[in-house]
Structure 1
Amino acid sequence: MRGGSPIWGVLAIALGALTLPGAASAPRTATFAWVDYTGDDALPPGVTQAPGDYRNPILAGFYPDPSITRAGDAYYLVNSTFSYFPGLPVFRSTDLVHWTQIGNAIDRPDMVDFGALGVSRGLYAPAISYRDGTFWIVNTCVDCGGNFVITATDPAGPWSDPIWLKEAAGGIDPSLFFDDDGSAWLVNNDVPAEPPRYDGHRAIWLQRFDPATKRLVGARRVIVDGGADPAADPIWIEGPHLFKKDGHYYLIAAEGGTAENHSEVVFRADAVTGPYVPFVGNPILTQRNLPATRAFPITSTGHAGFVDTGKGWWATFLGVRPYDGRNFNTGRETFLLPVTWADGWPRITAPGAAVPYVHARPDLPVATAPAPTTGPMTRRERFDGPALPLDWMMLRNPAGHWYRLGDGATLDARAVGLGDSGNPSFLARRQQHLNASVTTRVRFAPAQDGDRAGLAAFQNDDYWFFLGIEQVAGKAMIRLDRRAGERNPKAGTMVAEAPLDAAAGAPIDLRITARGGRYDFAYATRPGVWRVLARDVDGTILSTEVAGGFVGTMLGIYAYAAD
């Protein structure tokens, strides 16, 4: 059993079991005995992993916008989750290679309200820091409140309720910096002081922050306008972080947008307020000048964070692994590389150098983790505890208490679908490999046409697959539905179906297999006797290139009632 938010899990069980006089009859339910996930992406030909090496990405799958901090001998990392709940996973490591999720910073439904936001709105680019026994996260809830700060003495939680930073205006990607003199500062991305000269023209702003009141104070000021080379009209400078080394203040930031032109740039100043001078060797990280036709590419690198181990500096950053041109279904992932210093300037990759899949480990005592976050893995989730596993999420804030855990997972089938921009009965975990499968055993007896339960592969409300039991014209069928754009019906369209030759409510095994951009869908009415319902289905609809947005494919269990 893996941990979760115990208060929320116990509350869900207690309220889910409550029956009031005169209440409606019990909802139709689907029971899932377990969910298996298996993934294995081979290393590129000629690349081997020696005992002293680690593998990139260090967090595979939809773990974008990493921010890292150090507290004593431990390191803590957080990622964006946008409109998923619970949000902002918190990881811990002592060797920068083996990471364990210890909590979710946003784990109470009343902390933020996603409403009916699109999946790629919500919680953007958190930044974690540590000072004098307190952990801090500053973050932006896009279209749901703006910038806020939360704190905790234990990074596993609980985290405080958000304090909203209205003075940060409309900016995103805030980050805190604590200076040696006790002062604190917030940097973030926002529109420039003057009207933007071109699309994507942004600026980095600086403002004092009072840790005692958790408020911004004093005037805001622009410390970078446009980017590293303003004459070139650079776009989307964002994700800023400040740190201090050898008496100098360094500002690192992403630039170029989040696609193939993504990069990381650095500036330096003698005072925290500037002026900040760009490094003549910028960018210090990018893959944009490498051949687009190269094999096993890692692209779109940027949004870095630095940490000093005492034996060297290291950077976490995001990148993607396309399987076909620009298509990738696994989302933006977290990578790790050392930072080299020369003449007072840092660099992550040399010009023209590719991000490696394998690299020598940091000079730190080797640690372990209870579950892998990268490389080959096979995991079975039995849902045998009272709380949702930490790495499982739902869409938006929970609308009621529609799931129960303990001996498997039981979902109430409700009239909220995958395409309804709501909170469907859908619990999911990330697809972490290009080559992966998810398998479950479900019991479900549909009562009317349209009732369904099974597995879903979900990119956003407009792009998904459903494989499962569905009643059609009064008969239970095994059915594959797909939604491939907002012009498709919200309930999707049928791709393939077969009569279900099993008793109502009998256990049915379901499996979705991903092979890059091709997906297979199978079922079994007897364990191990698989029947392929559809093979080589176009899975590029789950890619960011097709579906848009900033997230990755989620694989999970789903139930729907056509009330």
Structure 2
Amino acid sequence: MIRPSLIALCLLVAGTAQARAPLRPASDRPDAPKAAFDWFEYTGADPSDAAFKPTSAQYANPILKGTYPDPAVMRVGQDFYLASSTFAWFPGLPVFHSTDLVHWNQIGNAIDRPGMLDFKRLGLSRAVFAPTLSHRDGLFYILNTCVDCGGNFLITAKDPKGPWSDPVWLPAVAGIDPYLFFDDDGGALIVFNGEPPGKPEYSGHRAIWAIGYDARTQKTIGEPKLLLDKGVNPAAKPIWPEGPHILKKDGWYYLVAAEGGTAEGHSQVVLRSKSALGPYAPYTHNPILTQRGLPKNRPLPITSAGHATLVDTPDGKWWATFLAVRPYGDDLYNTGRETFLLPVEWKDGWPIILEDGRTIPYVHAKPDLPATAPAPPPTAGAFTVREEFDGQALPLSWVTLRIPQQRWWRLESGKLVLTARPETIGGMTQPSFWGRRQQHINASASTLMRFDPAKAGDKAGMVAVQNDDHFFFLGLTRDASGQAKIVLERRAGSGDPVDGVQVASAPVAPKAGAPVWLKITARGGLYDFAYALAPGRWTTLKAGEDGTILSTKKAGGFVGALLGVYAHEGLADPGQDR
């Protein structure tokens, strides 16, 4: 692959935490409308936070609230590292560090510059799927799948903070969820989910394969070998054996994988063999983790648990990170697939995360490990986070849609300034948007904005978005008559206009450059939208909007909701085709 030029490299990273080079101009049109945001505050508290308060000797699940799915964990010495999926958000594949497995500092994003990958006009639940982490001889590896944008690849770094290398593509690894296993003898295998041998017998019939890998040449060796067809009980026609990992303990090779799809039937299973290439025999009492089959009316349910990664601690204990969800209704959740942590118990040579029929606890005793330093920003329990935009970079946790090819934002005098462009939030493009995850079922986000819409269709404000077809916009615009308005727009499916349908509006007459306060509040499946023209004098524009349109069940895909800021330039000619 051709390495990006210095110019392409600096377009994105200079304005995130990896800033290294002078910025190019934020817009090719200096007269384009600009929206300035003084700060952005997020706060959230869930019923489980009040019902299950951890003591000083306990931690709270999930350990990473909000959409941090497919968590892969790895230990190097005393340090633990974790990466998760980001699909078509950018920067992609966040990398975290911890020493206690509970508190995690985000130290980088593995996909952090244009030229590494091309997300094109992919849906937000395509692109980079589940990453996996490996380490050998001072080099860190991430293996990943860019779905519909290149296939399987590996990237490497000497420091997990980055920079990570350009992708090395793995054409012989045909499938998803690749993981690089290094054996004690120096050999290496890539295990992955792929098509079954022969013709699939039913929907969801998949297999797990392994192929040799040469770390010196960064190439695969030989032909793939089948490790598991269908799943641990082929007669039951199991679906989607995926997320495979191999670990070695006490002379046994353990093949640990998810089964049952990522919805409520999700589970984790394990097999073992005396050889890395099998044959693998399944554990008699699989699954080793699941929440399927539990009463649907149980209070504060946690569901869809699976896609686990096992890791040992320096004192010989074992733990697992995995994804699960916290619905507020019948499989309705807007927070996406979150990261949970539980200990692993070994029984008769088999790892057990949670015996079948037991519910995932919201609080659990902490691992006996040294505290993570410096203390990370909160990611569990109830919390408030305020971003003042007074640093040199946006927080590493902030993301945008797809991969920008030019700088349309800047941090200036304690403000985040967005250049409004014709690219729209619903247009399968790369709009002027930055946001952060909704991390609680009950949450609110607010900001102070200064924006002067010059013409009809110019608008800026806040967005709650799940994908291009499902979002809310709350902000300031100007209608065809020249009237400035605060509007609420909603897109609840591909049948709605690209910009959404206006569901509420209020005429306003702010002075040019005067501040406007905006606030979005989530109450489970209900969302409220408010504005103010003076500090603290909130006016509710619309309350009780159907926020279930941001749920995975209705919007589809694998991502959760984002809350953020957005600017859009209306077309000079209203009849012009977008």
Q: Which bracket does the TM-score occupy, shorter chain normalised?
A: over 0.9
Distance 1:11 1:522 in 2: 39
Residues 7 and 512 (structure 1), Cα distance of their counterparts in 2 relative to 1, 3 Å cut: closer
Output the CA distance in 1 between the equivalents of 2:163 and 2:19. Answer: 16
The Cα of 1:384 is off from its aligned counterpart by: 1.9
The question of 1:14 aligning with 2:31 is answered no
Residue 488 of structure 1 aligns with an amino acid whose one-letter code is D
Structure 2 equivalent of residue 301 of structure 1? 305
Root mean square deviation of aligned Cα: 1.5
Query: Residue 174 of structure 1 contacts residue 188 of structure 1 at CA under 8 Å; is this kept in 2?
Result: yes
Equivalent pair of 2:49/2:382 in contact (CA under 8 Å) = no
| Letter in structure 2 aligned against 1:179 | D
Please report how far the alpha carbon of residue 449 of structure 1 lies from its aligned counterpart in structure 2 after TM superposition.
1.2
Partner of 1:353: 358
Q: Partner of 1:275 in structure 2?
A: 279
Q: Is the 8 A contact 1:13 1:404 kept in 2?
A: no
Q: For structure 1, which segment, 114-123 or 392-401, has the greater mean C-alpha deviation from structure 2 after superposition? A: 392-401
Corresponding residue for 2:290? 286
Q: 1:261 aligns with which of 254, 261, 265?
A: 265
- The answer to whether the Cα contact below 8 Å between 1:12 and 1:404 also exists between their aligned partners in 2 is no
Partner of 1:452: 459
What is the CA distance between 1:450 and its match in structure 2? Answer: 1.2
| Aligned match for 1:109, one of 80, 105, 114 | 114
Out of 369, 373, 381, the position equivalent to 1:375 is 381
Q: 1:277 Cα shift?
A: 0.5
**2:516 pairs with one of 501, 508, 513:** 508
Q: Distance in 2 between matches of 1:10 and 1:210?
A: 34
Paired letter, 2:130:
A
1:223-248 superposed Cα distances (whole Å, 9 cap, x missing partner): 00000100110001100000000000
Find the partner of 2:447 among 418, 440, 444: 440
Q: Which residue number in structure 2 is paired with residue 215 of structure 1? A: 219
2:435 to 424, 428, 432: 428
Post-superposition shift, 1:11? 7.3
1:536–1:373 CA distance, 2 compared to 1 (3 A): same
Q: What aligned pairs does 1:494-505 form with structure 2 within 5 A after superposition?
A: 494-505=502-513
CA offset at residue 521 of structure 1?
0.4
Aligned equivalent of 1:192: 196
Aligned-pair CA distance for 1:413: 0.4
Residue 289 of structure 1, CA deviation = 1.2
Q: Please tell me the residue identity of whatever aligns with 1:384.
A: D
In the other structure, the counterpart of 1:415 is 422
CA separation in 1, counterparts of 2:459 and 2:525? 26
Cα deviation for residue 12 of structure 1 reads 8.6
- Residue identity in the other structure for 2:312: D
Q: Is residue 2:229 matched to residue 1:225?
A: yes
Alignment of 1:310-329 (within 5 A): 310-311=314-315, 312-329=317-334
Match of 2:80 among 50, 75, 78: 75
Q: Which consecutive residues of structure 1, in runs of 5 or more, have no partner in the other structure?
A: none
Match of 2:4 in 1: none
Distance of 1:385 and 1:47 partners within structure 2: 35
Shift of 1:48: 3.5
Q: Give the Å deviation of 1:548.
A: 0.2
Q: Is the 8 Å Cα contact of residues 13 and 405 (structure 1) preserved in structure 2?
A: no
Q: Cα distance, 1:366 vs. partner?
A: 2.9
Give the alignment's TM-score, normalised by structure 2.
Answer: 0.94
Moved over 3 A (4+): 4-13, 44-48
Distance 2:500 2:50 in 1: 39
Q: Does the CA-based 8 Å contact 1:12-1:403 persist in structure 2?
A: no
Supply the distance in 2 between the matched residues of 1:429 and 1:525 (Cα, whole angstroms): 25
Q: Which residue of 1 aligns with 2:100?
A: 95
CA contact (8 A) 1:122 1:141 kept: yes
Contact 1:56 1:358 in 2 (8 A): yes
Superposed displacement of residue 503, structure 1:
1.3
Report if the CA contact (8 A) 1:236-1:257 is conserved: yes
The separation in 2 between residues aligned to 1:382 and 1:110, in whole angstroms, is 30
Paired position in structure 2 for 1:395: 401
Quickly say closer, same or farther: Cα 1:31–1:48, change in 2 above 3 A: closer
Matched to 2:530, the amino acid is: A
How many residue pairs align between the two structures?
Answer: 555
- Which residue is 1:363 aligned to? 368
Q: CA deviation at 1:24?
A: 4.4
Deviates further, 47-56 or 368-377: 368-377
Distance in 2, Cα, partners of 1:63 & 1:530: 32
Look up the SS of the partner of 2:120 in the other structure.
coil
Q: Describe the SS at the equivalent of 2:476.
A: strand
The partner residue of 1:385 within 391, 396, 400 is 391
State the alpha-carbon separation in 2 of the partners of residues 317 and 417 from structure 1.
Answer: 34
Q: Whole-Å Cα distance in 2 between the matches of residues 273 and 228 of structure 1?
A: 16
Aligned-residue offset at 1:41: 1.4
CA pair 403-44 structure 1, distance change in 2 beyond 3 A: closer
- Contact kept, 8 Å, 1:188 with 1:238, in 2: the verdict is yes
Deviation at 1:310, TM superposition (A): 3.1
Q: For 2:301 and 2:151, how far apart are their aligned partners in 1?
A: 35
2:576 alignment partner in structure 1: none
Deviation at 1:357, TM superposition (A): 0.4
Residue equivalent to 2:161: 156
Residue 553 (str. 1) matches residue 558 (str. 2)? no
Shift of residue 417 of structure 1? 0.6
Q: Distance in 2 between matches of 1:240 and 1:305?
A: 9
CA distance in 2, matches of 1:154, 1:319: 29
Is 1:147 aligned to 2:156, yes or no? no
Matches of 2:59 and 2:44, distance apart in 1: 18
2:272 maps to amino acid: R
1:39 aligns with 2:48: no
Question: Partners in 2 of 1:11 and 1:242 — Cα distance?
Answer: 38
* Corresponding residue for residue 182 of structure 2: 178
- Compared CA separation, residues 11 and 559, structure 1 to 2 (3 A): farther
**Deviation digits for residues 431-459 of structure 1 (CA, Å, limit 9, x no counterpart):** 00011111001111111111110000000
Distance change >3 Å, CA 25–CA 16, structure 1 → 2: closer
Equivalent residue runs for 1:471-550 within 5 Å: 471-473=478-480, 474-550=482-558
Secondary structure of 2:47's aligned partner: coil
Structure 2 regions of 5+ residues with no counterpart? 1-11, 572-578
